[in-house]
A and B are shown apart, each in its own frame.
With several copies, the nearest count.
Chain A
Amino acid sequence: MKKKGNFKGTRNIAHSLQIGRAIIMGLILEYEGKEFLFKKYRIPMLEYRLVRSREEAEKAIDELGAPVAVKAQILSGGRGKMGLVKFSRTKEEALANYDEITSREFDGRPINLVVIEAGADIKQEVFVSMVFDNTGNIVVLFSAEGGVEIEKLAEEEPEKISRFVVPFDDEIYPYMFAAGVGKQGFTGKVKMKIATIIATLVKMMVKEDLQLAEINPLIITNSNDVVAIDSRIGIDEDAMFRHPEREEWLSAELRDTPAEKDAHEHGLAYVDLGGDIGMLSCGAGMGMATADLIEYYGGEPRNFLDVGGGASPEKVENALRVMVSEGGLKSILINAFGGITRLDDVAKGIIEAKKKYNIDIPMVIRLNGTNQEEGVALLKEAGMEAYLSMEDSVEKAVKLAKGEN
């Protein structure tokens, strides 16, 4: 994860390409949510073990005793549907499930982090999830019908979901959620236990710089305990300086692909988009607009790669190195508008990278703005040309990718 503190960077907007700017966050693993947050805030849980090998899995199953749940640790919801959470009545079944899950991949990586969790005595499954809205409130949804079809329930039977809106800077107490939980049919101790867990999650949202806190399912046992079976937590990556230990969490490694990680370490924003036109922009908004224009002309961007405003030659060079390291490129488009950025610096970076990494993929360069003449002159010297217009350069890059000329 890149160092914070520079005042004008580009990381956020890279994420925004994936999820829209409204909610920018880094998911963490179920295990991390439980181990590093739920434990600290005393949210009731079942016993569990994180295991990284078959031996550890077997030991955990023996210690906890069947039945157990075998749960893949990946950065995604919907694990049940994917068959990555499996309830297992016997030790044998649990080991078989472990073997099956760890034989699979997710997001291009092998699954080798698994949680073994003690079996639960479930009377009812309920659901709680919360995010911030855009006006500084925490919006909490609670339903007595837990499970995975929550979006459908919200659409079809909205009255089955209680919604609470809490200003982010209010003090939080369980009473605030009691009536709403009551409306879903709970009373007395169970109601107050649920309200207390909701209040705790809301407090965590602020104190722990979270962007998402969800428990689905939260279960009510036959002895009326209320226990968190899952944890789905998104953290605010901009708040990492307040939680430096999170840099060491397993999820920090899993969140980025190797190319993304490489890019972030060099202060670049990188998102894999899956096409075949390598795209480099100076500035994130420009990057989005460039990607849109590539599609407008019928092409497909391979990535979103942004060096930000005022990039140095080294940054441009690194960006190109990251770009070509991924392979599969049919053309490269460099769209540099020189406002703060000096175009001679951009040109220097391009020339250096081309030489150093032997880049022979067709390259289209657009330079317009500050120190344009100097930049164009440098490129010319190195045998390259530059476009002035963004549209023209994009059109050309798309043609090249299609093998046209």
Chain B
Amino acid sequence: MAILLNKDTKVIVQGITGFQGLFHAKKMRDYGTQVVGGVTPGKGGTEIEGFKVWDSVAEAVEATGANATCIFVPAKFAKSAAYEAIDAGVELVVLITEGIPKIDTMSIVKRANKKGSTLIGPNCPGLITPGQAKIGIIPTNIVKPGKIGVVSRSGTLTYEVLEQLSNAGLGQSTCVGIGGDPYKQTNFVQVLKLFQEDPETEKIVMLGEIGGNAEELAAEFIKEHVTKPVVGYIAGKTAKPGKTMGHAGAIIQGGKGTADSKIKTLESVGVKTVNRISEIPDLLK
């Protein structure tokens, strides 16, 4: 089963005629993902490396029945691209683009919530269900099918963890990179819920970072709703506390958001946390 994505998911790539879009569209297809085409406004009716191209998501969806999209367009156009996918009723919108203005991201999240799309990202590596399909840029050579669910705020760090898991013989059900931006729709809680409900996922790895309160919210959720074992890692212990967030920021943030407070909160609800990534596989055995 896995979560969010499997071999039946029909994926389009927005920005498919760009360098990154095309490169990763091919990688996705090579892995077995059903990439049914792509969208680049103004290039509709053409074809590129075997991918059909449409001018708009609505037209691509009408023609192919796509239910997922992977967005590679530049930050300046990301809002319009994401809106387009959401408006066309695409169920799973994976927004790889980084550097999107905060206001634009908030608008995208709001529209996705309103129209019922699941939005992964922005500024994320996407997701992969090993052995079935991937959307995004997670390398395929470091994953293998199995029963560990992985959810992560960090991109490259995830790859390190995936490889260590695979090397230790711990395959993955699905790995979701939720992305590093502060505003998002799909956060730890949403993915933990899916992993908890997924019969193929037995244990969960959660890779967090300093800042914000996503890990704290995850801890609350785990306490109430997650019965599967969770192993956690928080990056950023070295980081210095911020100085630029203004009085309102400081008052709202309070003492929260540091690595230590996150680790403490997670431990308090039964999550085993590690100091070094290399300790993760052992805790899952």
Q: Which residues of A line the B interface, CB within 8 A?
A: 4-9, 11-13, 16-25, 27, 75-77, 127, 129-136, 139-141, 150-151, 154, 161, 168-169, 171, 173-176, 178-179, 182, 187-189, 191-192, 206, 209, 211-212, 214, 216, 232, 234, 236, 238-239, 241-242, 273, 281-286, 288-289, 291-296, 301, 309, 337, 339-340, 368-370, 389-391
In the complex, residue of chain A having the shortest beta-carbon distance to the beta carbon of B164 = A390
A8 to B276, Cβ gap below 8 A?
Answer: no
Pick the residue among B109, B246, B252 that contacts A214 (CB under 8 A).
B246
Given that A136-B183, A174-B41 are contacting pairs, would A12 and B98 also be in contact in the complex, using a CB cutoff of 8 Å?
A: yes
Given that A7-B72, A370-B139 are contacting pairs, would A12 and B180 also be in contact in the complex, using a CB cutoff of 8 Å?
A: yes
A4 to B156, Cβ gap below 8 A?
Answer: no
CB neighbours of B137 from chain A (8 A): 8, 309, 340
In the complex, residue of chain B having the shortest beta-carbon distance to the beta carbon of A282 = B156
CB neighbours of B214 from chain A (8 A): 134
Number of chain B residues close to chain A: CB under 8 A = 89
CB neighbours of B211 from chain A (8 A): 16, 19-23
Q: Which among B57, B233, B250 has the highest number of chain A CB atoms within 10 Å?
A: B250
A7 to B214 alpha-carbon distance, docked (Å): 24
A168 to B41, Cβ gap below 8 A?
Answer: no
- Residue B269 at the chain A interface, CB threshold 8 Å: no
Pick the residue among B83, B210, B240 that contacts A175 (CB under 8 A).
B83
Given that A7-B72, A18-B240 are contacting pairs, would A139 and B42 also be in contact in the complex, using a CB cutoff of 8 Å?
A: no
A19 to B242, Cβ gap below 8 A?
Answer: yes
A299 to B74 alpha-carbon distance, docked (Å): 39
In the complex, residue of chain B having the shortest beta-carbon distance to the beta carbon of A174 = B41
Q: How far is the CB of B276 from chain A (nearest CB, A)?
A: 6
Among the 9-residue stretches B100-108, B189-197, B221-229, the one with 4 or more Cβ atoms under 8 Å from chain A is: B100-108
Pick the residue among A4, A178, A390 that contacts B278 (CB under 8 A).
A390
A24 to B182, Cβ gap below 8 A?
Answer: yes
A130 to B45, Cβ gap below 8 A?
Answer: no
Q: How far is the CB of B105 from chain A (nearest CB, A)?
A: 9
B43 to A188, Cβ gap below 8 A?
Answer: yes
Q: How far is the CB of A385 from chain B (nearest CB, A)?
A: 20
Q: How far is the CB of B139 from chain A (nearest CB, A)?
A: 4
- Residue B268 at the chain A interface, CB threshold 8 Å: no
Given that A187-B55, A369-B142, A390-B160 are contacting pairs, would A9 and B245 also be in contact in the complex, using a CB cutoff of 8 Å?
A: no
A141 to B248, Cβ gap below 8 A?
Answer: yes
Please name 28 pairs of A and B residues whose Cβ atoms are closer than 8 Å in the assembled complex, sorted by A: A4-B99, A6-B99, A13-B180, A16-B239, A17-B238, A20-B210, A21-B182, A23-B242, A23-B245, A127-B247, A130-B248, A141-B248, A151-B250, A188-B45, A189-B42, A234-B244, A238-B75, A239-B101, A242-B101, A273-B238, A283-B155, A283-B157, A283-B159, A284-B154, A285-B157, A289-B277, A339-B139, A369-B159
Given that A16-B239, A239-B103 are contacting pairs, would A391 and B278 also be in contact in the complex, using a CB cutoff of 8 Å?
A: yes
Q: How far is the CB of B143 from chain A (nearest CB, A)?
A: 10
B44 to A295, Cβ gap below 8 A?
Answer: no
Query: From DSSP, what is the main secondary structure of chain A's interface residues?
Result: mixed
Q: How far is the CB of B122 from chain A (nearest CB, A)?
A: 9
Pick the residue among A129, A175, A232 that contacts B41 (CB under 8 A).
A175
In the complex, residue of chain A having the shortest beta-carbon distance to the beta carbon of B207 = A285
A178 to B75, Cβ gap below 8 A?
Answer: no
CB neighbours of B251 from chain A (8 A): 129, 141, 150-151, 154, 161
CB neighbours of B236 from chain A (8 A): 16-17, 20, 288, 292
In the complex, residue of chain B having the shortest beta-carbon distance to the beta carbon of A389 = B278
Pick the residue among B55, B76, B101 that contacts A192 (CB under 8 A).
B55
In the complex, residue of chain B having the shortest beta-carbon distance to the beta carbon of A190 = B42
B109 to A292, Cβ gap below 8 A?
Answer: no
Give B59-80 interface residues, CB cut-off 8 Å to A: 59, 62, 72-76, 80
CB neighbours of B42 from chain A (8 A): 188-189, 191-192
- Residue B186 at the chain A interface, CB threshold 8 Å: no
Q: How far is the CB of B15 from chain A (nearest CB, A)?
A: 8
A interface footprint on B103-127 (CB within 8 Å = 1, 0 otherwise): 1101101100000000000010000
CB neighbours of B41 from chain A (8 A): 174-175, 178, 192
CB neighbours of A139 from chain B (8 A): 248, 252
A214 to B239, Cβ gap below 8 A?
Answer: no
In the complex, residue of chain B having the shortest beta-carbon distance to the beta carbon of A206 = B103
A169 to B106 alpha-carbon distance, docked (Å): 9
In the complex, residue of chain A having the shortest beta-carbon distance to the beta carbon of B236 = A288
Given that A23-B245, A169-B110 are contacting pairs, would A179 and B155 also be in contact in the complex, using a CB cutoff of 8 Å?
A: no
CB neighbours of A8 from chain B (8 A): 20, 96, 98, 137, 155
- Residue B202 at the chain A interface, CB threshold 8 Å: no
